[in-house]
Every structure is written in C-alpha cells, then in structure tokens.
Amino acid sequence: MTSRDAGSTALWGLFCSASWTWCIGMFLPFVLLRQYGWAGFLMFAIPNVMGCAAFGYVLDRDRARALRARLGPLPRAFSIVTIAYQAYFAGWMLPEVWLVGVIGVGVAVGAMLASRSMLALAGLVSVVTAACILSECPPSLQALDTAGSLPSTDLFALGGVIALGFIACPYLDLTFHRALEESPSRHAFGVFGVAFALMLFGVASLWDGTLEGPRLTLALEVLWAVQLSFTIAAHARELLRSQSASSRSTAIAIAAIAAAAALGIAMRTWDFPVLGSGEGVYLRFLAFYGLVFPFLLVLRLRRVRQWLVWTTILASLPFYELGFIRHQPFWLLVPVGLLCVLWMAPLDNPSRKDRFDA
C-alpha cells in the first residue's frame, strides 16, 4: 500500500467514525452510566465498535453490491430514520437557531460535496470532536461510577438486544457501503474501530456523577452540533445519490425530518401522556435499531413472508416498551426468541420477488 493509499484509508476510517457518531453514541452512554454504571457502558460500547468494524472485513465490494440489490429500499429507509433521529435530538437538546443550522448545513453539505471533500471534512470533524472533549479537562476514567441505579443482572437481557442491533444495522448503513466501495483498503474499518472507541470513551468521561448526567457545556453542545450535522450530511448525500431516489422518497425524508425536529422542540418543556419525557422518546427511537431494522434485515435475507415479519415486529413492540422504558428487560427475551423461531421458518418461494416499502 502506498503512502497515499494509507492516508486515504485512514480518512475513510475517520469518515465512518464521524458518520456513525449519532445521538446514540453521544448521549446513550450517559443514560447507561446512570442506570448500570461502567458495566452498562461497556455492554454498549464493545458490540458497537466490534459489530461495525466487522462490516468491512465480512463483506467485500461484490458481496456488498449484491446485498444492496437484495435489500432494495430498506437501506434508504434506514438513512431517513437516522436523519430524523438526529433532527429529534437536535430539537430536544440544542437551541432553535442551532437546530436550523445543524439540519440546513447537513443537507447542504450532503448535496454539494464530493467524496474527497467529505473525507477532508470528516478529518476536521474528528479534530473538533477531540478538541471539545479535551477542552473539558475530563476527570480520570476511574472516577466514573462503577454501579448504577438498576440491578446489573438486567444487562444479560439487554446485552442480547443491543448486540443484535449493532451486528445487523451496519449492513443497512449506506455510508459504510460507500466507504467499503471507495476506500483503498478494508482496514479503514480498523481505523474506524480505534477512532470510534476513543470517541465513546471521551464522551463517557464527561459524565458527572453529582448531576447523574453530562456536564452541559458549550463544548458538549458544539460536539453534538458538529457530529449531528455531519451524520445528516453523510446520509443525505447517499439518499440524493441513490439511483432509486424519487420525489416520493424525498418528500418522506423532508416530512420525517420536520416532524422529528418539531417533536424534539416540544419535548423540551412538555411531557405527553403517552410519550412521556424527551428521554423517553429518545429511547423509543432505539426500537428502530434494536427491533425493526434488524428484524427486516435478517428476515428479508431469510425470505420469511412479509406479513409474518411485520406481525412479529408489531407484536414485539410492547416487550421493547417494557424492557427499555419500564425497566423490565427480561421481557426482551420474547422478541429475540420470536426472531429465532422465524429464522427457522420455511422459506418462501425463492423466485418470488420481495418488496419492502420505504
């Protein structure tokens, strides 16, 4: 590998790290530290890093293209939901002016920049992220709580669902597919693993045990704004470049972004009877990544009948509510068991063309 290829590989790794640094990696560690301490954070961080890094070593370019062809519009739906999730978090956590900037800049950058410029921007975003974390002079990692408010035995049930999400979802992420397609080496995903792990631990170090949450400073808000905007840009770029892009999918994306941002703003001050607090809505978004998208991916590859897939997903939603919101995680074993049963179900006619609406 030439020095130029090595530099490009490293930049693609930083691109993946920046595009995968969602509001999940920038806020869920605080929730898990409060609930389960260090054990909860590690249960989240280890499968997150390893599952995503494995993507680049499991697939090659040909297999990735075949996978995208088989998945149809599902990866585009994944990108739309992911952009909407970032918009919700920005609306919930950032001032309105910042929210407009995050979404506007993200979409504009995604529409205008070419790959080389996106790589340079990813490097800059990584530097800004590191500077924001280091500017807070974080305490020693040993100062973080080692135990949370909930029993550590809950982690056995939570761990399986979290691992399922982080193993499955990278295969739906079009920014990862872009990196695999254009990077000179699959070792870009090794670079990703190191950079992303450092980012997660850096964010976790901003935990303040006396506040039972992060220290909400200007540096943390800048980190959130920069990373949210880049994630939106990376996914918007893939949606706009998709050969199957249509005015219908664009309209769906715009509506989803606007609705999510408005909901985020509303959740700053209001607690709705069904949705509860802003954090409750934030956690409910995780059902897309721990339930909906993993089930659609796994069962589409298995060619399970669509009506049965969607029935299973809808039937599983109450168990995710009990597990993640009501703190009864052992109910999560039910949908995992249903997934195993469906995996062993008889195949549909392989010649039948599957269709999934975005």
Q: Kindly report, residue by residue over 220-237, the tens digit of the pLDDT.
A: 999 999 999 999 999 999
In this prediction, residues 318-346 reach a mean pLDDT of 86
In this prediction, residues 80-109 reach a mean pLDDT of 95
In this prediction, residues 246-272 reach a mean pLDDT of 85
3-state SS of the chain: helix, strand, coil percent to 5? 75, 0, 20
pLDDT in the model for residue 139: 58
pLDDT in tens, 126-182: 999 999 999 987 655 555 546 778 888 888 888 888 999 999 999 999 999 999 999
Contacts of 33 (CB under 8 A, 6+ apart): 40, 41, 144, 145, 148, 204, 207
CA distances from 58 to 53, 180, 184, 238 (A): 9, 11, 16, 22
pLDDT above 90 (res 264): yes
Query: Which two three-digit tokens encode residue 37?
Result: 């301490």
% of the chain with per-residue pLDDT over 70 = 90
Report the number of secondary-structure helices (H) and strands (E) in the chain.
Answer: 15, 2
In this prediction, residues 275-300 reach a mean pLDDT of 89
pLDDT in the model for residue 202: 93
DSSP character at residue 346: P
pTM: 0.91
Contacts of 346 (CB under 8 A, 6+ apart): none
Domain ranges of the chain: 3-278
